[in-house]
Amino acid sequence: MAVLAGCGGGGSGSSVPALPPSPLSGVISIEANSRVDQDTMNQLGLEGAQVATGTQALPASFVLAGYVSGAAGTYPSASAQCQPFAYAEDAVDEYSVPLAAGETLVLESFGSCLADPELELVVEGAGPLSASVNAGPARYTLTAGDSTEYRVTVRNTGNAPARYILAKSVAFGAEGMAFDWPRYRFIEGEAVVALADDDTVRAAMATPAAEKARALGAGEWLMTMPGNRVRSAQAGPVAEDTLNWIRELRATPGVLSATPNYVVSSQQTGTPVSEPLYTRQWHYDLINGPAAWQLAPGGGAGVNVAVLDSGLLRLPSGAWHPDLDSNVQSRPAYDFVDNDTIPADPGSSVGGDVFHGTHVAGTVAAVVNDAGSGGVAYGAGLVPVRVLGEGGTGSSADLIAAINWLVAGSGGQPYADVVNMSLGGLPRIQDLEDAIAKGVGKGMVFVAAAGNAATSTLSYPAASPNVLAVSAVDGGGQLAGYSNFGSWIDLAAPGGDASRDGNLDGAGDVVWSTSGERDGGVSIAGYRGLQGTSMASPHVAGVLALMKARDPAMNYDKVRVWLQGGQMTDGQARRNDTLGWGVLDAARAVSAAGSGFADTILSASPALVSLSNEGEQSVSVELSVFGDGNVSNLSLGDMPAWIDVTGCQSAPPCALQVTLIKDQLTPDEPARGSIVVNYQVDGASADPLSIPVIGQLVSDEQARNAGRHFVLLVNTEPNEDNLYMAESQVTLDAENGVYSFRFENDDGEEPQQLREVRPGDYYLVAGSDLDGDGIICQPGEACAEYPITGLREVITIEEGQSLSDIRLTTGFSRPTISAASPDILPRPGFQGYQLRAPETQTGPADNRIRMTQ
């Protein structure tokens, strides 16, 4: 509940009649660099409006929202997500965009209640390039050419209306922003809870807080919501009831954290040279596998790799897949889905029998037996741990429990040296981070698939700082079209792409490995090709096993040193956001481990500093040491005049404080530079550490525009269609980069006017309706919630009270569940906020015109 102070009236010497007190008024600021398409339905819905014919000029950095439709029509009133409003034809939007080499342009599209989007991005002046965005975002990176203005066209190739975001940021990567609400799936009626001590557990179980609890290890518990908390006893647990229960758990004394039991999913989208299938396994040649096997002839013998997945194919005889069986025998195994010690892969009833875990395990460590295929670490032991069930999905609770089980191990030693997680799609979960960190502290190395959403949105566990995040490449070593990317990617490996023939062998680039088939209802061993970052991650896990066999003291710190030094990839120690530090090179990696030691280096976190007068103006950069050498004599080299750097007077670990000097910058022209840190290792000079830094003096406030805004007071409970209905409404256009709103007191006469407010409890929200469907805050539209977007609170309007100077911020981005915002919860089924219809109307189109004027 928001607590707001009422503002009383005061005297004035002015002769101008004062407006009567407003029950609620305030200002909505606009996020930096926000722009809007010049002919959305906010304009086209007005009588006599025409589609814009000119090219819209955009600045160096922008996040623009737009609308395109291949035809005109009316939204169907029968749809729960539509109101019967008219929409106009506007098939093409054209922009003039300044682009420099290496800069990225991102287009993300969102369909309407009619159909999914069918959009095309065309960049002319460097090609032209054309990219379809029927599914996932399209991105264009200018890799060559002059820094100049390019004509960018967004075209709707279908008939249904669609919303879109076109973004470019030279400072911090617009492709890293989220434009949809967090919609992570979770298991209703369950929560993962960290408790302070055993007394708290007993107290929780003695009260109605939870019906039962299952220990996940390390002080973490899976709790079940009491049945009497459900609004409808017949309906069973529902999503919103679960989230409300979790909010109450978080406020309970002794509860350190409480999160939904999120659904985790597989990340697939499918040898040595003597094995029969090797001719199909282009992916081993791509990572220089044959040379690595000469350097590690034991194939990783003595090293255990845990595969957290859907289990392994189990034959009717009780044996595992014949290409896996001998590497599994006499090793620990567990099924956290069925709670037994036989992690059998059931295949998948969704989309055919995939046998995902069997495929992943084969890439890691299938044996060499003159049959089928072999794995990267064909001599390593496999520790199968089942955390995914039917359909390739599981729960975050089972994943946390599995990692805790591996870390606890036996006799003080973990059950595995390397852990592969070809799964993901989770938000950041502190309990999961803690479990992984404990494993890293015991010398374990974790690898995870980056994900297949073709986005830079963080996907966990891969995005964890203690996990190697692996993106996927095709047979030509190029980023696969489905693969995630971003600043959190560590390296790339073959994941395949069935739509490409990157290595020109005449076949689609899929990854071949062990699998299963159904024969008369019985599972039998087989082989198949799959694609996905799920297939890329086990290549890295297998190579890590080969490295561990060469250097038993290998740990995560050593791996990071080798990786960033260019000793594990084909790169030149120059990182990018698609391939990380480069494509995996098994031979180079095993050779680096063969030396038995890693060079000592100085590392910075964050690795890149972005400063802005509207964002972070001062950032602390932690300097830490990777390696066993003694780092001393730190000194700063030349640096840009627009930053001040202090700190690190002693040996690392220590922190540099980097502060922006605003008067040294040119407005709206991003500046780039580096902080150079010189240092010595064991008394000898080492290669300096270079920390890229970007500074911006943003002065575009008056030019900002997030489109016509509807400021609403809505009911605090959604209707049966998951829409929050407006009770009062104010319509505004931006003036000098802000929206100023003012509601009026209800005069008691019917009908109630749009601006009039009656006493009661509401959510205060605002946003744009670019596609004219009568709903705001949908993906691709601006949205603001009081007091913070994503953490809305009830605001109470009382009789005779005046609440003024209320502040909100609107923009096209959406909050994410991260370390910076751990209190954010998912919004399952959230459809948006529905505008209040005017009192009189003559038809759908007229209704729309009256509403927007």
Supply the residues annotated as catalytic. 309, 356, 534
**DSSP code at position 461:** T
Do strands 445-449 and 467-473 pair parallel, antiparallel, or not at all (unpaired)?
parallel
Q: How many CA atoms within 13 Å lie on the side-chain side of 440?
A: 18
Q: Distance between CA 160 and CA 201 in Å, rounded? A: 54
d(CA 743, CA 713): 10
**Using an 8 Å Cβ cutoff, are 639 and 690 in contact?**
no
Residue keyed to tokens 């490996």: 493
Residue 29 amino acid letter? S
* Number of neighbours of residue 790 by Cβ within 10 angstroms: 17
Beta strands at 723-732 and 832-834: parallel, antiparallel or unpaired: parallel
Q: Which residue from 87, 210, 14, 46 is spatially nearest to 733, judged by alpha carbons? A: 46
| CA distance linking residue 782 with residue 776, whole number of Å | 8
Please tell me the distance from the alpha carbon of residue 777 to that of residue 779, in angstroms, as a whole number. 7
Q: How far apart are CA 142 and CA 701, in angstroms?
A: 28
Say how many C-beta atoms besides its own lie within 10 A of residue 823's C-beta: 11
Specify the amino acid at residue 744: E
Alpha-carbon span 99 to 815, nearest angstrom: 28
Residue with tokens 């009383």: 8
* Spatial contact of 576 and 607, defined as CB atoms under 8 Å apart: no
377, burial (CB in 10 Å: exposed 0-12, middle 13-18, buried 19+): buried
The sign of the dihedral angle between the CA atoms of 747, 752, 753, 756 is positive
Both tokens of 310, joined, read 């859907």
Q: How far apart are CA 99 and CA 105, in angstroms?
A: 8
* CA 517, 334, 393, 327 torsion-angle sign: negative
Amino acid, res. 538: P
Distance CA 627, CA 707 (A): 52
Phi, psi dihedral angles at 246 (to 5 degrees): -65, -40
Three-state DSSP state, 526? strand
Integer Cα distance of 836 and 845 in angstroms? 15
Query: Which CA distances in Å does 375 have to 49, 233, 277, 284, 288?
Result: 64, 51, 11, 9, 14
Question: What is the distance, to the nearest Å, from the Cα of residue 435 to the centroid of all Cα atoms in its chain?
Answer: 20
